Amino acid sequence: MKNDTLGERIFKELKNDILSGFYAPGERLLYEKVAERLGVSMTPLKDALLKLEQEGLVRNVARRGTFVTQLTERDIMEYSQIRMALESLAVDLSCAQDLITPEALEELTEVNNLIRKAVKKKSPKEVITYDIQFHLKIVSLSQNNRLIEMMNQFPLSNFLLLMGRGEKSIENGDLILNDHTKIIEALRDKNPDVIKKILEVNIFLPYNQIFQEE
């Protein structure tokens, strides 16, 4: 039974439109045109846009309107720094409290296999979606509910896609898979220092490639 409300359905459609590039980074979303295109009224549309803003996909600028997020160099650096801090804390907690189970490592391996398949299919959205799942699972190992909640609320969604650079997730496929494999092995060995060194490279890869290599 489908339980999605109209607002949730619109949210999913708009999110897909933004991440697929139908609406470009920095583009203004004109309420009337979007509502007409989707065949909906303003109320559910505004509900959907509010949720998109909470996820960091759009920004509401006073007296100007709502715009698709266009991430700056500073945005990506700050997001990457916060992610690194959250995931490092999760790693420290999970290793110190011996919370890493064989079942958890198997789940991480399964997600990595999904990334491998997505790379072969050349599907940037799938690669990034599964990559996010992988990192969320790392944080969930900590069993710290507040930390997990913070990570789930963090607008992880797709720095590369928002920058119009989704193709990089395919180009970097082997690097991502290799990093994840090393992380799984280091988790098995309960070696937080090694894990955090690999995470630093993995998390800051989008920033370095977008801004440091151009």
Domain that holds residue 92: 73-212
**Is 1 domain-assigned?**
no
Supply the mean pLDDT for the chain.
87
Total domains, the chain: 2
Q: What is the phi/psi pair of residue 91, to 5°?
A: -65, -45
Q: Is pLDDT at 49 greater than 80 in this prediction? A: yes
Average pLDDT (142-163) is 76
Q: Is pLDDT at 31 greater than 50 in this prediction? A: yes
Q: Among 45, 68, 91, identify where a domain stops.
A: 68
Confidence (pLDDT) at 16 = 81
Instruction: Report the DSSP pairing between strands 65-68 and 28-29.
Output: antiparallel
pTM of the model: 0.76
Residue 135, Ramachandran bin (φ over 0: left; ψ between -120 and 50: alpha; else beta): alpha
Do 167 and 206 form a contact (C-beta atoms < 8 A)? no
Confidence (pLDDT) at 167 = 67
Confidence (pLDDT) at 205 = 79
Q: Is pLDDT at 163 greater than 80 in this prediction? A: no
Share of the chain above pLDDT 70, in %: 86
Q: Is pLDDT at 2 greater than 80 in this prediction? A: no
**Is 42 domain-assigned?**
yes
Report the C-alpha gap between 154 and 54 in whole angstroms.
9
Does 13 lie in the same domain as 41?
Answer: yes
Read off the pLDDT band of 162 (50, 70, 90).
low
Q: Which segment, 6-10, 47-51, 93-97, 160-164, is predicted with the most confidence on average? A: 93-97
Q: Which pLDDT tens digit goes with each residue over 36-45?
A: 999 999 999 9
Q: Which pLDDT tens digit goes with each residue over 122-145?
A: 888 788 888 889 999 999 999 999
Q: C-alpha distances in angstroms, 70 versus 43, 66, 111?
A: 25, 12, 29
Report the C-alpha gap between 181 and 184 in whole angstroms.
5
Report the C-alpha gap between 77 and 18 in whole angstroms.
22
Confidence (pLDDT) at 161 = 58
Confidence (pLDDT) at 24 = 81
Average pLDDT (107-114) is 97
**For residue 160, what is the domain's CATH number?**
1.20.120.530
Average pLDDT (111-123) is 94
Does 77 lie in the same domain as 63?
Answer: no
Does 151 lie in the same domain as 91?
Answer: yes
Read off the pLDDT band of 1 (50, 70, 90).
very low
**Is 99 domain-assigned?**
yes
